[in-house]
Homo-oligomer: A and B are copies of this chain.
Amino acid sequence: MKTYRIAVVAGDGIGNEVMPEGIRVLDAVGRKYGFGFHWDEKPWSCEYYAKHGHMMPADGLAQIRNHDAIYLGAVGFPGVPDHVSLWGLLIPIRREFQQYVNLRPVRLMPGVPSPLANRKPGDIDFWVVRENNEGEYSSIGGKMYAGLESEFVTQLTILSKKGTDRIMRFAFELAKKRKRKHVTSATKSNGIAITMPYWDERFKAISAEYPDIKTSSYHIDILTAHFVQHPDWFDVVVGTNLFGDILSDLGPACTGTIGIAPGANINPEKEFPSCFEPVHGSAPDIAGKGIANPIGQIWSGAMMLDHLGHGDASDAIVAAIEKVLKDGPRTRDMGGTANTVEVGKAIAAAI
């Protein structure tokens, strides 16, 4: 039996509560489809930071570099500044393992109330493909004239040809496998008039390699408006690190799924392990109460299986999630009274 070695980083807050449910469901689907997991748990977190002064050991990434994947809960907790917790754990995983694709679905699910009027399951179903390694999230910049009236700070946005082309190709390849075969580019070349015209130029160049794929391009301001007013227009949306970050929160907000949306940080070449994590954070306000919704973690597990080549098993998890969303049990955020474990068990049972 094939056994996958998975690095488990439950992280902070509700990460510790939803992770066991993700594992429960993956174990269940593995039993059904004939594969298994070795779960290698790493305690890296803000708690770990409090004890050791760093979010993970110096050789942390080396410890997990040969694993088949990384299964992550949530990183960040009050008391540790975000730039310490995230740049000490999540961002290095994304960068050093060249997980240059951040992939998140926007889908209206049965049983999930959407804030948008007059939309029903099936109406909204698209992917946000986010560049995950460079762009606006650079480490170049600093402060000048500190303490004086003339003080200012700078930060450089960097788009490389390599980084831009590969994320666009990923988006086009994904669109190729879909029914509508349509890629939408998020730009802002009218305002961010140096880097974004380059983004447009590369989008045009790469789209020429895919003559059968329909393309559109919108400035990020009006694009966010279209997400609200015309979410049915989209199939695959590709954006820079920042624009993709925004769109992959806004999209799930429009479908009411922000608390349950999954995410994948992918190294498509499989040279390094990819990392699967829910879109939601560590939710300090409800942490420790056992009431967090585990669906984002479980759905991220489905994306992990898809990446590992088990499309059928992945689909089975998504179907089980849809069944439980429709029939219950439901956690509080979905209008129910069930706890985290009850929902996890129900999804595992539905497999």
Contacts and interface: CB of A to CB of B under 8 A. Distances in A.
A246 B220 contact: yes
Q: A interface, by DSSP: helix, strand, loop or mixed?
A: mixed
A140 to B, nearest CB: 8
A157 B189 CA distance: 15
A195 interface: yes
Interface in A133-172: 136-137, 139-143, 149-163
Contacts of A156: 141, 154-157
A249 interface: yes
A253 interface: yes
Given A115-B117, A116-B117, A245 B87 contact: no
A322 B192 CA distance: 35
B161 A149 contact: yes
A83 B152 contact: no
A242 B192 contact: yes
A335 to B, nearest CB: 15
A229 B259 CA distance: 12
B162 A195 contact: no
Given A221-B246, A229-B253, A189 B151 contact: no
A142 to B, nearest CB: 7
A198 interface: yes
Contacts of A241: 191
A228 B242 contact: no
A155 B157 contact: yes
A243 B158 CA distance: 18
Interface in A94-120: 114-118
Nearest to A198: B153
A250 B198 CA distance: 25
A117 to B, nearest CB: 4
Nearest to A148: B161
Interface in A71-101: 76, 82-83, 86-87
Given A115-B117, A155-B192, 14 more contacts: A76-B190, A82-B189, A82-B193, A83-B193, A117-B118, A136-B191, A141-B194, A152-B160, A221-B246, A222-B249, A224-B246, A224-B253, A229-B253, A250-B250
10 contacts: A117-B118, A137-B192, A139-B193, A141-B157, A153-B158, A153-B194, A154-B157, A156-B156, A220-B245, A229-B256
